[in-house]
């Protein structure tokens, strides 16, 4: 059976690694990797293939950045052209990115069945860009791989037949368990060696990076917290900080350690050993939960409802300085109780 696995972003690659390894070991499948290139930055995509010693994609489509509609449309056109060259029996599409929905639509239009990895996630926030992507992909896919019981229930409540849904567990958990030794021995980036008590922050979502006031409030909240904060800076975030005249200010914050985006193992080691993480990333919320690190999410909603139920994650909807600082203080003061609750939820 010829299987095409289509990805385009760093989180999609990470989700797929355990599956790629398993499929490549099987004699039943002939796997073709297709990279749409939604993340055009080397450090955000190709470095992960190299790090995990995975074969290079057979096709790099070079979609790159653009408006959501442009990205989805360009992905559809390029994926369709690619699939027409192949004798693909089924396409595997992970996640909820513009790359994912474009790939799923192109597959269906060329009459190729779609398997959706990480199906059934719902934030019930219609203004979240990924929410519509998730729903469309789920309803046009033939096989839905749900990572949690809650995700499976979401699909069934939307009228999707149970026979199309498989409760698989989470491939990102699989990967963390597979790579545990490498994570614990990973090289730490310059400037972070020897740090014992620190926060880890990631920031990349458009609603935060496109708003100068929000970025300023977040940076000032970190400064006022006086807690050492490691900040692997996403290319988009760095570009926006520079545009808004905030990059120089960020570099002058004494307790803020700016570093380049990291390889997977180094990032997970920093996350695992941090006091807490501050993020707007869906993947980081989940990874923090897995390694038992409390999380503050700078968003009004989350698709990972389980992290809220377990009291492992706090949403910050009002991004003023005082709210962010007080949330940091509250989480740190209750950290032991939060970690204990996470362990009890296993």
Q: Name the more confident of 92 and 10.
A: 92
Residue entry with tokens 């990924």? 130
255 within 8 A of 229, measured Cβ to Cβ: yes
Which percentage of the chain shows pLDDT scores above 70?
97
Buried residues in 61-86 as b, exposed as e (16+ CB within 10 A): bebeeeeeeebbbbbbebbbebbeeb
CA separation, residue 318 to residues 22, 92, 301 (Å) = 43, 37, 12
- For the ranges 8-17, 100-109, 160-169, the lowest mean pLDDT is seen at 8-17
Q: Are residues 212 and 317 in the same domain?
A: yes
Main-chain dihedrals φ then ψ at residue 30, nearest 5 degrees? -110, 105
pLDDT at residue number 46:
67
- pTM score: 0.94
Catalytic residue among 39, 116, 139, 204: 204
Is 155 in the same domain as 11? Answer: yes
Q: How far apart are CA 211 and CA 157, in angstroms?
A: 36
pLDDT tens-digit series, residues 289-340: 999 999 999 999 999 999 999 999 999 999 999 999 999 999 999 999 999 9
The per-residue pLDDT for 39 is: 66
162 and 297 within one domain: no
**Residue 6 — φ and ψ, nearest 5°?**
-115, 125
Assess contact for 277 and 288: CB atoms under 8 A: yes
Instruction: Determine the Cα angle at 325 with ends 321 and 329, to 5°.
Output: 170
Q: Band the pLDDT of 341: cuts 50, 70, 90.
A: confident
CA distance 57 to 63: 14
Report the alpha-carbon distance of residue 37 to residue 46 in Å, rounded: 10
End-to-end CA, the chain: 37
pLDDT tens, residue by residue, 34-62: 999 876 555 556 677 788 988 888 998 98
pLDDT (0 to 100) of residue 27: 84
* CATH code of the domain covering residue 232: 3.40.50.2000
Arithmetic mean of pLDDT over the chain = 94
The residue out of 149, 178, 207 marking a domain boundary is: 178
How many structural domains is the chain composed of? 2
Does residue 39 carry a catalytic annotation?
A: no
Nearest one of 245, 246, 189 to 219, comparing CA atoms:
246
**Residues 136 and 208 both lie in one domain:** no
pLDDT computed for residue 41 by the predictor: 57
The answer to whether 313 touches 289, Cβ cutoff 8 Å, is yes
Q: Judge if 169 and 199 occupy the same domain.
A: no
Share of the chain above pLDDT 90, in %: 83
Q: Which of 178, 205, 239 is the C-terminal boundary of a domain? A: 178
Please check whether residues 187 and 173 belong to one and the same domain: no
The answer to whether 145 touches 116, Cβ cutoff 8 Å, is yes
Of 40 and 281, which is predicted with more confidence? 281
Question: Can you read off the two tokens belonging to residue 21?
Answer: 């390894």
pLDDT exceeds 90 at position 130:
yes
Residues 93 and 156 in one domain: yes
Give pLDDT, residue 344. 79
pLDDT given at position 29:
92
How far is CA 31 from its chain centroid? 23
Token output for 40: 């055009």
Residue 141 is given by DSSP the state -
Q: Look at 33-47, 63-77, 168-182 and tell me which has the smallest mean pLDDT.
A: 33-47
Query: 188 and 155, same structural domain?
Result: no
**d(C-alpha 112, C-alpha 245), whole Å:** 48
Residues 283 and 142 reside in one and the same domain: no
Q: Which of 126, 151, 178 is the last residue of a domain?
A: 178
Range of the domain at 230: 182-344
Asked if residue 307 and residue 186 are part of one domain, the reply reads yes
- Residue bearing the bigger pLDDT, 53 or 162: 162
| Least confident stretch, 51-65, 108-122, 127-141 | 51-65
Residues 13, 99 within the same domain: yes
pLDDT tens for residues 184-237? 999 999 989 989 899 999 999 999 999 999 999 999 999 999 999 999 998 889
Contact 328, 225 (CB under 8 A): yes
Say what the pLDDT of residue 156 is: 98
Question: Do 174 and 256 share a domain, yes or no?
Answer: no
Distance between CA 276 and CA 76 in Å, rounded? Answer: 39
pLDDT in tens, 133-160: 999 999 999 999 999 999 999 999 999 9
pLDDT at 249: 98
256-259 and 229-232 beta bridge pairing? parallel
The alpha-helical segments, DSSP class H, found in the chain are: 10-25, 46-51, 68-85, 98-109, 129-140, 149-157, 171-178, 180-184, 206-209, 212-225, 235-243, 247-252, 264-272, 282-290, 305-309, 321-333, 335-344
């Amino acid at each position: 059976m010829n299987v095409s696995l289509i990805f385009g972003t760093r989180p999609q690659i990470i989700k797929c690694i355990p599956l790629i390894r398993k499929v490549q070991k099987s004699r039943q499948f002939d796997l073709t990797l297709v990279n749409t290139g939604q993340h055009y930055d080397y450090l955000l995509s190709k470095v992960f293939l190299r790090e995990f010693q995975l074969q290079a994609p057979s096709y790099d489509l070079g979609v790159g950045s653009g408006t959501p509609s442009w990205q989805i449309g360009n992905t559809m056109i390029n994926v369709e052209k690619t699939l027409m060259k192949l004798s693909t029996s089924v396409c595997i599409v992970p996640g909820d990115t513009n790359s994912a929905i474009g790939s799923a639509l192109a597959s269906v239009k060329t009459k190729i069945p779609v398997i959706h990895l990480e199906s059934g996630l719902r934030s019930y926030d219609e203004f979240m860009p990924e929410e519509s992507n998730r729903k469309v992909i789920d309803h046009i896919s033939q096989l839905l791989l749900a990572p949690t019981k809650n995700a499976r229930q979401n699909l069934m409540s939307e009228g999707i037949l149970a026979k199309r849904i498989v409760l698989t567990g989470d491939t990102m958990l699989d990967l963390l368990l597979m790579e545990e030794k490498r994570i614990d021995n990973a090289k730490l980036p310059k400037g972070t060696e020897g740090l014992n008590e620190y926060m880890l922050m990631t920031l990349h979502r458009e609603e935060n990076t496109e708003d100068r006031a929000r970025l300023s409030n977040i940076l000032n909240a970190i400064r006022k917290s006086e807690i050492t904060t490691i900040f692997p800076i996403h290319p988009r975030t760095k570009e926006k900080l520079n545009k808004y005249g905030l990059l120089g200010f960020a570099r002058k914050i004494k307790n803020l350690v700016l570093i380049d985006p990291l390889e997977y193992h180094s990032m997970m080691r920093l996350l695992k050993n941090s006091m807490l993480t501050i993020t707007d990333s869906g993947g980081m919320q989940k990874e923090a939960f897995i390694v038992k690190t409390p999380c503050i999410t700078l968003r009004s909603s989350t698709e990972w409802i389980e992290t809220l139920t377990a009291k492992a994650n706090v949403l910050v909807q009002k991004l003023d300085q005082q709210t962010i600082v007080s949330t940091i203080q509250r989480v740190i003061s209750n950290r032991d109780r939060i970690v204990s609750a996470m362990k009890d939820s296993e």
